[in-house]
């Protein structure tokens, strides 16, 4: 479980550049995942051995600056609620603006670490200009130039120093299933139906659950913790359906779980916001089960299920090996099937393939279909093993690993999935020098 750091500030002060710089170094190593990274406003970073999740709030507001005027307060309030520390970015070129003052007013009332970051200080004379930001009343500021990285070291030192220590609560080794999805998809209702009691107040107003709540669940021989992120937005003021809110609330629960039950509202479909939450879980290497809820409300004919499923699988390529269960929380239709599936995915995620069996299975497949030659050089793969990590990662040792391209990595991943059951679980394949 890592700390969450939010980057706030008005448009065009360089939030995204700073965000990219902070995750770049790490992203290149951690996320050489096939396909593109879908969500460019959330990433992991670390400094001096302390890991944290980084959220660029600016990435979530689409629209002109005047819309932003209304949105920025909500963003900052959400960041204040959800993040463990806040980087408030201002721009030395434009000096202190009215909007900066407004954000500073909100941030001064917070008892969480707030670092004032003065960006675009790329010349000595600008250091002098930066002093006017003392007027914001946030104390010490950190002059940086996010474009070339100067000053970011000192800022990061101060940031990790200020981050609270994360307690590792390992009281028992029960699997943790997080119920995630967009507001009003039926997350609380699903948990109520499973537990058989109205633990949460469920109404038709989006965003009624306040926090992620854990519930121990023991039925039909399954025992695990259910993590409810329902509600996702808890501020009564927040009426707009902004992607940012869903993502922000989901991050904590996803990072803290083993399997994510992604609840999709069948009447709304698998839209971009649901996809964002899906990729967030995939990027964190969690098991995933997609639950299509409110299936009782959909007009059906014989091919409806097939069509719907096909559509979802197109949206989640290349990671299509994910179970999809059609449920209705209202009529309790197939909700225990959903739990059985989640338990199976949890087992798949901790699936260990003995090295001898892995080599006996995979090497003949590789021999029949070797990696394509590159500039007349042939890649020979001699040995493979599963790495001792909490989720499935495999290392294949080769003479020229740098010549193995993404399509071949996907081919290997698909063969692993065919031979061993990793349904619902992201699998990572590495090629290394033998």
Q: What is the average per-residue pLDDT within 256-266? A: 92
Stretch among 15-24, 94-103, 370-379 having the lowest mean pLDDT: 15-24
Fold of 176-348: Rossmann fold (3.40.50)
Domain 355-433 CATH superfamily: K homology (KH) domain (3.30.300.20)
Q: Where are the beta strands (DSSP E) in 144-258?
A: 176-181, 213-219, 222-228
In this prediction, residue 312 has a pLDDT band, given cuts at 50, 70 and 90, of very high
Please check if 231 is assigned to a binding site: yes
Residue 121, SS3 per DSSP: coil
Stretch among 136-145, 170-179, 395-404 having the lowest mean pLDDT: 170-179
Please check if 14 is assigned to a binding site: yes
Please check if 35 is assigned to a binding site: no
Please check if 181 is assigned to a binding site: yes
Return the pLDDT at 207. Answer: 46
The larger pLDDT score, comparing residue 411 to residue 244, is at 411
Return the pLDDT at 70. Answer: 64
Return the pLDDT at 204. Answer: 46
Long-range contacts of 129-133 (CB under 8 A, 24+ apart): 129/92, 129/95, 130/92, 132/95, 132/96, 133/90, 133/96
pLDDT digits (tens, 9 = 90+) for 192-238: 788 775 554 444 444 444 445 567 777 767 788 887 765 444 444 44
Return the pLDDT at 369. Answer: 94
Please check if 310 is assigned to a binding site: no
Please check if 294 is assigned to a binding site: yes
Instruction: Count Cα atoms within 13 angstroms, Cβ side, for 72.
Output: 23
Structural domain boundaries of the chain?
3-162, 176-348, 355-433
Return the pLDDT at 30. Answer: 37
Q: What is the average per-residue pLDDT within 137-166? A: 90
For residue 37, pLDDT over 70 is answered with: no
Best-predicted range by mean pLDDT among 17-26, 251-260, 325-334? 325-334
Return the pLDDT at 10. Answer: 82
Please check if 187 is assigned to a binding site: yes
Please check if 13 is assigned to a binding site: yes
Interstrand relation of 114-119 and 141-143 (parallel, antiparallel or unpaired) = parallel
Please check if 126 is assigned to a binding site: no
Please check if 208 is assigned to a binding site: no
Please check if 15 is assigned to a binding site: yes
Please check if 235 is assigned to a binding site: no
Q: What is the average per-residue pLDDT within 374-380? A: 89
Question: 115 pairs with which residues across the strands?
Answer: 87
Please check if 108 is assigned to a binding site: no
Please check if 121 is assigned to a binding site: yes
Let me know if the fold of 176-348 is the same as that of 355-433: no
pLDDT digits (tens, 9 = 90+) for 418-433: 999 999 999 999 999 8
Return the pLDDT at 172. Answer: 56
Please check if 149 is assigned to a binding site: no
For residue 71, pLDDT over 80 is answered with: no
Q: What is the average per-residue pLDDT within 74-87? A: 81
CB atoms within 10 A of CB 417: 17
Please check if 377 is assigned to a binding site: no
Please check if 47 is assigned to a binding site: no
Q: Which secondary-structure segment (H or E) carries 281?
A: helix 272-283
Phi/psi region, residue 354 (left: phi>0; alpha: psi -120 to 50; beta: rest), is beta
- How far apart, in whole angstroms, are the C-alpha atoms of residue 77 and residue 80? 5
Please check if 113 is assigned to a binding site: no
Please check if 42 is assigned to a binding site: no
| Class for the domain spanning 3-162 | alpha beta
Please check if 213 is assigned to a binding site: no
For residue 60, pLDDT over 60 is answered with: no
In this prediction, residue 58 has a pLDDT band, given cuts at 50, 70 and 90, of low
Stretch among 7-21, 142-156, 344-358 having the lowest mean pLDDT: 7-21
Please check if 11 is assigned to a binding site: yes
Please check if 96 is assigned to a binding site: no
Return the pLDDT at 120. Answer: 92
């Amino acid at each position: 479980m890592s700390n969450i750091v939010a980057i706030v500030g008005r448009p065009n002060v360089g939030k995204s550049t700073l965000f990219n710089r902070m995750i770049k170094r790490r992203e290149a190593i951690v996320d050489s995942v096939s396909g593109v990274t879908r969500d460019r406003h959330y990433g992991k970073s670390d400094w001096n051995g302390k890991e944290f999740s980084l959220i660029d709030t600016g990435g979530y507001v689409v629209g002109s600056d005047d819309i932003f005027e209304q949105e920025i307060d909500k963003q900052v309030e959400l960041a204040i609620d959800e993040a463990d520390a806040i980087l408030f970015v201002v721009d030395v070129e434009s000096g202190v603006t009215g909007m900066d003052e407004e954000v500073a007013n909100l941030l001064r009332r917070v008892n969480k670490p707030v670092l004032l970051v003065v960006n675009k200080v790329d010349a000595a004379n600008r250091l002098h200009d930066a002093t006017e930001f003392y007027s914001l009343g946030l104390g010490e500021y950190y002059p940086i130039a996010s474009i070339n990285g100067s000053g970011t070291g000192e800022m990061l030192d101060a940031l990790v120093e200020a981050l609270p220590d994360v307690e590792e609560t390992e009281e028992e080794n029960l699997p943790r299933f997080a119920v995630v999805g967009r507001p009003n998809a039926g997350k609380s209702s699903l948990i109520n139906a499973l537990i058989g009691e109205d633990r949460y107040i469920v109404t038709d107003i989006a965003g009624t659950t306040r926090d992620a709540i854990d519930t121990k669940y023991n039925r039909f021989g399954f025992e695990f913790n259910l993590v409810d992120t329902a509600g996702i937005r808890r501020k009564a003021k927040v009426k707009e359906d902004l992607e940012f809110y869903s993502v922000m609330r989901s991050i904590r629960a996803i990072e803290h779980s083993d399997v994510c039950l992604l609840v999709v509202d069948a009447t709304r479909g698998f839209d971009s916001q649901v996809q964002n939450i899906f990729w967030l879980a995939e990027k964190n290497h969690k098991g995933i089960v997609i639950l299509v809820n409110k299936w009782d409300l959909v007009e059906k004919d014989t091919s409806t299920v097939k069509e719907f499923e096909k559509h979802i699988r197109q949206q989640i390529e290349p990671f299509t090996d994910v179970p999809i269960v059609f449920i209705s929380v209202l009529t309790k239709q197939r909700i225990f099937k959903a739990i059985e599936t989640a338990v199976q995915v949890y087992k798949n995620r901790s699936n260990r393939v003995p090295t001898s069996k892995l080599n006996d299975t995979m090497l003949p497949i590789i021999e029949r279909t070797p990696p394509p030659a590159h500039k007349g050089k042939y890649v020979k793969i001699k040995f493979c093993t599963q790495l001792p990590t909490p989720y499935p990662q495999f290392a294949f040792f080769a003479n020229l690993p740098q010549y193995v391209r993404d399509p071949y990595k996907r081919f290997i991943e698909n063969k692993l999935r065919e031979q061993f059951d990793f349904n619902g679980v992201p699998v990572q394949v590495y090629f290394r020098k033998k």
